[in-house]
């Protein structure tokens, strides 16, 4: 797969360095209200290498007992998720082509050793809206295939300020993060990468 699959759109440096820094400040605020938690795989309880939190009316969580799901409150504090920052709502309006606003924003933090295996985003009940993803901090190698497990994949290097959209026939494409390229961005004081994914959950 030489180029990106149909329905995958990459907008390099969508956010200027200045807007990236402002967004990081907003994410820090969100993390203060809704601390990063350690997600665990359903049944096995194996911990994922990323640390997560959310903003929006719904947040994506996972643990051994109850598995993958969306819920309106933080799994540790029980407090409702903070609202989605206006910057992200604006990006969604500009690139999603969807009339309704996002309901969920998953915040993933990757340290230099973290990765994310190939998976589909399919815990939503409506797939008509795309998934819109914003990258901040260190570069990563992002891998994306088709909606069929084990199909061909392509990779793209995502850098700070990039926006990536998984829509149309790629809405259910398998995707993941192979690796983080550490110390490739000065944005985060202690290094690492933040990824924000905006989604509709229900119709
Ligand atoms: C995800 O699939 O939840 C994260 C993708 C990314 O980190 O770019
Ligand atoms: Fe995903």
Residues 124-144: tens digit of each pLDDT: 999 999 999 999 999 999 999
Ligand 1 atom 2 nearest Cα: 176
- Give the tens place of pLDDT for each residue, 57-97: 999 999 999 999 999 999 999 999 999 999 999 999 999 99
Which ligand 1 atom sits nearest the alpha carbon of residue 195? 7
**What's the pLDDT at 134?**
99
**What's the pLDDT at 74?**
98
Q: Is the CB of 52 under 6 A from ligand 1?
A: no
pLDDT higher than 80, residue 1:
no
Instruction: Count the neighbouring beta carbons within 10 Å of the beta carbon of residue 108.
Output: 23
- Give the tens place of pLDDT for each residue, 145-174: 999 999 999 999 999 999 999 999 999 999
Number of H helices, E strands in the chain: 2, 12
d(C-alpha 85, C-alpha 83), whole Å: 6
Q: Is the dihedral of CA 9, 198, 109, 40 positive or negative?
A: negative
Domains of the chain: 8-199 (2.60.120.590)
Collapsing DSSP to helix, strand or coil, 21 comes out as helix
**What's the pLDDT at 2?**
54
For residue 40, count CB atoms less than 10 angstroms from its CB and return exposed for 0-12, middle for 13-18, buried for 19 or more.
middle
H-run or E-run covering 36:
none
- Secondary structure in 3-state letters for 106-130: EEEEECCCCCEEEECCCCCCCCCCC
- Give the tens place of pLDDT for each residue, 21-32: 999 999 999 999
Ligand 1 atom 5 nearest Cα: 176
Annotated binding site: 60, 68-70, 108-110, 119, 121, 123, 149, 175, 193-199
- Give the tens place of pLDDT for each residue, 35-50: 999 999 999 999 999 9
Q: Is the CB of 54 under 6 A from ligand 1?
A: no
């Amino acid at each position: 797969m030489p180029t990106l699959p149909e329905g995958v759109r990459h907008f390099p440096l969508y956010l200027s360095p200045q807007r990236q820094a402002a967004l990081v400040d907003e994410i820090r605020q969100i993390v203060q209200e809704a601390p990063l938690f350690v997600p665990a795989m359903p049944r096995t309880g194996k911990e994922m290498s990323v640390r997560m939190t959310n903003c929006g009316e719904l947040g994506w969580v996972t643990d051994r007992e109850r598995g993958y799901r969306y819920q309106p409150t933080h799994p540790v504090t029980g407090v409702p998720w903070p609202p989605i920052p206006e910057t992200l709502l604006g990006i969604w309006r500009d690139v999603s082509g969807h009339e309704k606003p996002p309901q969920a924003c998953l915040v993933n933090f990757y340290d230099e050793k973290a990765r994310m295996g190939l998976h589909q985003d399919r815990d939503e009940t409506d797939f008509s809206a795309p998934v819109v993803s914003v990258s901040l901090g260190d570069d990563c190698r992002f891998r994306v295939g088709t909606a069929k497990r084990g199909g061909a994949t392509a990779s793209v290097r995502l850098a700070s300020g990039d926006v990536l959209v998984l829509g149309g026939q790629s809405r259910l494409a398998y995707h993941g993060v192979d690796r983080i390229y550490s110390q490739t961005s000065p944005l985060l004081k202690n290094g690492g990468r933040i990824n924000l994914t905006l989604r509709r959950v229900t119709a």
